[in-house]
Amino acid sequence: MKKTTIWIDCDPGIDDAVALAMAAASRDQLRILGISSVAGNQVSDRVTENARRLAAFYGMEDVPVVRGAREPLLKVPETAASVHGESGLGNCRLPDTDKPLASENGVAYMAQAIEALPEGETLTLVPVGPLTNIALLLKVFPQVRAKIERIVLMGGSASGGNHSASAEFNIWADPEAAQIVFQSGLPIVMCGLDVTHQSGLYPEQVEALLRSEKPVEHAVGEMLSFYADTSSRGRTVACIHDAVTILYLTNPELFGGEWASVQVDCTNDINRGMTVCDRRAKTSPKPVLVLNQVDLPGFQKVMLEKLASI
């Protein structure tokens, strides 16, 4: 099987940490070209350190980790510490590592890595945080567009937000960057709240991970126990938003969606950060596949099998 080449852009973050675990467990299907950090769930120093430690913890010592944008394009940075904790990973404490950062200029490093791909090879961008790095990449290094097959992102919603009544956090954190990405004309798969609020693990499954003697399963159990208390109150599952992107790549049969044109509200009004998804038949083009269905038992089975394999 030919592997899909991906670049993961993240702000770890508990659900980012699980997404990275899914990627690490899927290296028979995915070639991970690199991992970049972006300020979002926590400040740049914390998410960058988390990305570095997580890559080492999951056995991705060979995958370069780089620091991306320290703040949004225009707005003042605001974190989601109330959801992910002061460390960004809840109560989980990962072992230290001597894995170095490959670059402090992550967007330039990403562009060079994409340009260096062999003739005819393309890459899938997998951003699971604010879209600052991806917007900068497309604007500053437009030549890389030819080698980007698609963008599979976590963000947005066609049916209401989580940070505000209308805006999902990743898009709200940098709406101007999100608008640049959604209007880029590149094929996009939007793994937004419509599908991620349906995608997660039951409390008893999280508890089983927490009891596990396997280091990765136990660590993920620690993270998700914290996360379930802060982000999934009132839901039957602990939603693991960012992991949907990786499982969509490895197991697309688990998901369904609708094609749409997406605009981002960049005003300073109540709907700032809202993703306006136009699915009307007369609207053309529709470059964004908005996921809104998941086979939950299948999702859980694949996720738990992948965690057990690391």
pLDDT of residue 231: 65
User: How high does pLDDT run on average in the chain?
Assistant: 95
**Residue 80: per-residue pLDDT:** 84
Q: What is the pLDDT of residue 236?
A: 86
What's the pLDDT band for 271 if we cut at 50, 70, 90?
very high
Backbone CA torsion sign across 208, 28, 9, 277: negative
> What pLDDT is stored for residue 11 in this prediction?
97
pLDDT score recorded for residue 262: 97
| CA within 13 Å, CB half, 120 | 0
Mean of pLDDT values over 80-86: 85
155-201 pLDDT, tens digit per residue, is 999 999 999 999 999 999 999 999 999 999 999 999 999 999 999 99
pLDDT higher than 80, residue 232: no
- Whether pLDDT at 1 is above 80: no
User: Catalytic residue numbers?
Assistant: 241
Q: Has residue 227 got a pLDDT over 90?
A: no
Amino acid 234: pLDDT: 65
According to the model, what pLDDT value does residue 281 have?
86
Alpha helix locations (H) across the chain?
A: 14-24, 44-57, 81-84, 106-115, 132-140, 169-173, 175-182, 193-196, 203-211, 215-231, 243-250, 296-309
State the average pLDDT over residues 74-78: 90
CA dihedral 171, 40, 17, 36 (to 10 degrees): 100
